[in-house]
Amino acid sequence: MINYGKQHINQDDIDSVVEVLKSDFLTQGPKVPEFEEDLKNYCQAEYSKVVSNATAALHLAYLAIGLQKGDIVWTSPNTFVSTANAALHCGATVDFVDIDPDTYNISIKCLKEKLIQAKRDNKLPKLLVPVHFAGQSCNMEAIWELSKEYKFKIVEDASHALGGTYQGEKIGNCKYSDMSVFSFHPVKMITTGEGGAVTTNSKSLDEKVSLLRTHGITKDPSKFNSTPHGDWYYEQQSLGYNYRLTEIQAALGISQLKRLDGFVSKRREIAEFYLQNLDQKITPIQHSDTTSSWHLFVVQVRNRQKTYQQLKDRGIQSQVHYIPVNSQPFYNSKALPNCEMFYEHCLSLPIYYDLTMEQCEQVVSCINHD
């Protein structure tokens, strides 16, 4: 079976995890802050906090921004449901901006039109969540300029995009956003099994995420409201959650992050092979400002069900990313034509570190003989 996505684990990863298992700390120890330091340095951000998964990261980022009941969040319909669901967990309402038919990211044209109308209706969003679909950055500079005009905050859902760049700089540096969120699910660029992270250049936002991920509790004497009773003293200062990452996961993340550039390089090699050997009419377009991390390679095929079955019959797994969130029965929002058209034809082909060129040839052969 050729999978559509798969983690790569080597002996260094295994040794790193075993070392933690033999140590005194399995939950809160030195590996978590070490992973955070490595991640912030890689992304060229001021701060980083790691959490139990990307959904938790989104939830905490939204809470840190101050999202609450009555607020409005806009995001892309071309994403996993957690991007929108996390806003509902904060009590906010969610609406969707149609995608660009070329990049499959939020359409700047549609966003501008929607903002003009929302201002007339007095229903502007408090928060916009652009999703870097498949690893390609959204047009963040244009979004940032609009945020200054219409006064909304920005959280980048960069779950697909660790290792990618925008305008020559690392995605996650938050140059054009308040915060960025990453995923460490096994099919992403690096994995901690499950896991996520938030990067930001704001000390106050970073501190809020840190507090909220651990029940709203602080053990920092400089932040206490009362005189401590002893060295054991701690304070719960808000209603938080148990969204912590373990030492075991952090150790795996540290080891994996060392090989991130190699992982991304191999994905780009595979993507280039597909781009050169598949019909350009079906392959994704890359904006000149971006260098994708290629979490996904998504083609637009004429008859998806037929192509999906042909691949499956040859032992090749493909996937569909995504069923538009706005079309889910839970949301049942107004149809967005660009996203609907994309969904009718999209199919994600295998792309991961251990995929061989021979296997890529098998994929191409199957697609080209459709």
Q: Tell me: do 240 and 332 sit in the same domain.
A: no
Element (H, E) at 273: helix 260-277
- Domain for residue 5, yes or no? no
Q: Tell me: do 247 and 203 sit in the same domain.
A: yes
- Domain for residue 265, yes or no? yes
SS3 309: helix
By CB atoms closer than 10 A (0-12, 13-18, 19+), residue 368 is: exposed
In tens, the pLDDT along 217-241 reads 999 999 999 999 999 999 999 999 9
pLDDT at 370: 64
Evaluate the CA torsion angle 123, 128, 134, 139 in order and state its sign. Answer: positive
Strand 93-96 vs strand 72-75: parallel, antiparallel, or unpaired? parallel
In tens, the pLDDT along 152-206 reads 999 999 999 999 999 999 999 999 999 999 999 999 999 999 999 999 999 999 9
Give the CATH number of the domain where residue 203 resides: 3.40.640.10
Q: Tell me: do 232 and 268 sit in the same domain.
A: no
Q: How many CB atoms lie within 10 A of CB 118?
A: 17
Q: Tell me: do 97 and 24 sit in the same domain.
A: yes
Q: Tell me: do 30 and 170 sit in the same domain.
A: yes
* Residue that terminates a domain, selected from 239, 257, 275: 257
- Domain for residue 321, yes or no? yes
Q: Tell me: do 307 and 331 sit in the same domain.
A: yes
* Residue that terminates a domain, selected from 222, 257, 292: 257
Q: Tell me: do 229 and 268 sit in the same domain.
A: no
Distance CA 328, CA 104 (A): 19
Q: Tell me: do 240 and 326 sit in the same domain.
A: no
- Domain for residue 283, yes or no? yes
Give the CATH number of the domain where residue 351 resides: 3.90.1150.10
Dump the DSSP string for 305-342: HHHHHHHHHTTB--B-----GGGSTTT-PPP-HHHHHH
Number of folded domains in the chain?
A: 2
Q: How many CA atoms lie within 13 A of 272 on its CB side?
A: 7
Tokens of 299: 């083609």
- Domain for residue 170, yes or no? yes
Q: Tell me: do 147 and 252 sit in the same domain.
A: yes
Q: Tell me: do 16 and 162 sit in the same domain.
A: yes
Per the CB < 8 A criterion, the answer to whether 241 and 58 are in contact is no
Q: Provide the whole-model pTM.
A: 0.97
Q: Tell me: do 198 and 299 sit in the same domain.
A: no
Quote the domain boundaries for residue 153: 11-257
* Residue that terminates a domain, selected from 257, 287, 308: 257
Average pLDDT over residues 9-38: 97
In tens, the pLDDT along 270-323 reads 999 999 999 999 999 999 999 999 999 999 999 999 999 999 999 999 999 999
Q: Please report, to the nearest 10 degrees, the dihedral formed by the alpha carbons of residues 76, 203, 46, 147 taken in order.
A: 30
In tens, the pLDDT along 312-332 reads 999 999 999 999 999 999 998
Distance CA 122, CA 125 (A): 9
pLDDT at 369: 77
